[in-house]
């Protein structure tokens, strides 16, 4: 800041001698796009459509909610694409919050990411994989043992280098796309007596609670579309990140919208709105109707592969946040250690997997998932507000002789940005209203992050030996 209170420079971009130089830029546009898609597509799209169908009851409304959720996700992709262009730094969302607001807020995000958001979701997905793997193989092992094995395997692969980890993730994502394509084709073309999609907008002539039902249906939909922002964590390892990461976000989210709409179209043609609401395994029911037992086996395999892909993406991306925190002196020093041969933060990767295993063995993942979505969307909304701060600093710097930045900008800003923030925080408010006890626990974990930040900041300022 100068004497007028105007920032003397724009938010910093990483330089070759910065922390990101420890890491290797080995991720290209295709692998980055697969990372975006892999962060979104897990097992949920094979299962969650029934949840939406129980809240809105006509084909048009069901498809409309999924499309609306996709539009909100694309608005979010616009936001993260601009942030990736402005600040292609390792750590992504942590770095944006740190620079726009305060290091304490960035730390709080990394804190809940490690303790609940990322690891709780990973533990739940690990269990899902173990269940389908046992069903497919008939292996006489516990779900926890299978889960620990797959976690260990994926952790080892990602410790061998970001190039190998990203290539594995890309292969798994291509397999996911193929599995979803088969599901869509079976539901659209192989159903002998498809259910009609041309029905009235509302099944009861205009319920007064229609808007409430749509709002409730959007909660699981927005959760299903979440995860694209995790690709920004590895900006420090993407080649030409200002160009490639922005493009990957837009292409990846756009492709997922098409996939999700196709899955719901297939389910509705095979099962109808009432049949979709009546089952808890819609993808399995659709494939059973189209291809019989072979279809059931195929979809179980597709779900197992999808869960492995999500785990692989999570192990690859999120540890870069803990690495960035440690580089700032705000987390365990060992988290900033980079293997000189593979050039990846091995300790951060292993630490996340170990904590995931603890949650898995403790059986606490279901409770954690109850407040993961509120924490995640709370910080996504905050991150979107940073666009206003960065743009204001840019204008002030330009007015005082600074250079005007070019590059990608959110189309329709500020209206589109405000719409995304409002949608994200509306889901947070809904979650708090419906699940106050779970939300209180989540907020408590978040609040614990601030004294933890003060502790690490104190060590960093005094030069004392931090852990």
Listed by start position, the domains of the chain span 26-199+209-399+412-458
pLDDT at 463: 61
Coil, helix or strand at residue 167: helix
Homologous superfamily, domain 26-199+209-399+412-458: Amino acid/polyamine transporter I (1.20.1740.10)
For residue 5, pLDDT over 50 is answered with: no
The tokens describing 148, both together, are 């620990």
For residue 16, pLDDT over 60 is answered with: no
- Cα dihedral angle (392, 396, 402, 404), rounded to 10 degrees? 40
pLDDT at 104: 96
pLDDT at 363: 79
C-alpha to C-alpha distance for 96 and 83, rounded to whole angstroms: 7
User: For 10-30, what is the mean pLDDT?
Assistant: 63
pLDDT tens digits, one per residue of 201-219: 555 445 557 777 888 888 8
Range of lowest pLDDT (94-98, 185-189, 398-402) = 398-402
User: For 273-295, what is the mean pLDDT?
Assistant: 94
User: For 111-132, what is the mean pLDDT?
Assistant: 92
State pTM to two decimals: 0.89
For residue 143, pLDDT over 80 is answered with: yes
For residue 433, pLDDT over 60 is answered with: yes
Which pLDDT band, with edges at 50, 70 and 90, does 467 fall under?
Answer: low
- With 0-12 / 13-18 / 19 or more C-beta atoms within 10 angstroms meaning exposed / middle / buried, residue 186 is buried
C-alpha to C-alpha distance for 425 and 339, rounded to whole angstroms: 39
For residue 267, pLDDT over 80 is answered with: yes
Share the mean pLDDT of the chain: 88
Cα–chain-centroid distance for residue 196? 34
pLDDT at 18: 46
pLDDT at 464: 54
Instruction: Give the residue from 130, 167, 122, 164 showing the smallest Cα distance to 149.
Output: 130
């Amino acid at each position: 800041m100068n004497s007028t209170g105007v920032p003397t420079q724009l938010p910093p971009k990483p330089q070759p001698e910065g922390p990101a130089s420890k890491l290797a830029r080995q991720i290209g546009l295709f692998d980055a796009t697969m990372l975006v898609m892999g962060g979104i597509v897990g097992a949920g799209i094979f299962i969650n459509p029934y949840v939406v169908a129980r809240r809105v009851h006509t084909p048009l409304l069901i498809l409309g909610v999924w499309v609306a959720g996709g539009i909100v996700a694309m608005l979010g992709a616009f936001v993260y694409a601009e942030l990736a262009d402005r600040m292609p730094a390792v750590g992504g969302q942590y770095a944006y919050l740190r620079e726009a607001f305060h290091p304490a807020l960035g730390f709080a995000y990394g804190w809940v990411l490690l303790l609940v958001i990322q690891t709780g979701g990973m533990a739940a997905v690990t269990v899902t994989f173990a269940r389908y793997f046992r069903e497919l193989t008939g292996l006489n092992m516990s779900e926890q043992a299978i889960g620990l094995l797959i976690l260990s395997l994926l952790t080892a692969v990602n410790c061998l280098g970001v190039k190998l980890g990203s290539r594995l993730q890309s292969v798994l994502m291509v397999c996911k796309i193929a599995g979803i394509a088969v599901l869509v084709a079976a539901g659209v073309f192989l159903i002998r007596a498809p259910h009609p999609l041309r029905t009235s907008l509302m099944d009861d002539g205009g319920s007064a609670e229609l808007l409430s039902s749509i709002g409730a249906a959007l909660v699981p939909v927005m959760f299903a579309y979440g995860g694209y922002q995790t690709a920004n964590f590895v900006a420090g390892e993407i080649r030409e990140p200002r160009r490639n990461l922005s493009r990957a976000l837009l292409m990846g989210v756009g492709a997922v919208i098409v996939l999700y709409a196709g899955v719901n179209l297939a389910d509705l043609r095979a099962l109808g709105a009432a049949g979709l609401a009546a089952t808890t395994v819609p993808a399995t029911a659709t494939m059973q109707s189209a291809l019989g037992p072979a279809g059931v086996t195929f979809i179980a395999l597709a779900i197992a592969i999808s869960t492995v892909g999500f785990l692989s993406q999570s192990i690859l991306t999120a540890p870069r946040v803990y690495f960035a925190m440690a580089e700032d002196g705000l987390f365990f020093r060992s988290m900033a250690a980079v293997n000189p041969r593979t050039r990846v933060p091995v300790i951060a990767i292993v630490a996340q997997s170990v904590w995931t295993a603890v949650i898995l063995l403790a059986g606490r993942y279901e409770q954690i998932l109850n407040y993961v979505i509120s924490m995640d969307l709370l910080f996504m909304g905050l991150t979107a507000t940073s666009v206003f701060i960065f743009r204001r600093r840019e204008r002030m710097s330009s007015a005082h002789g600074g250079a005007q930045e070019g590059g990608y900008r959110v189309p329709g800003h500020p209206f589109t940005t405000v719409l995304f923030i409002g949608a994200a925080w509306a889901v947070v408010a809904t979650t708090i209203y419906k699940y106050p006890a779970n939300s209180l626990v989540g907020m408590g974990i978040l609040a614990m992050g601030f004294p933890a930040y003060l502790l690490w900041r104190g060590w960093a300022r005094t030069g004392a030996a931090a852990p």
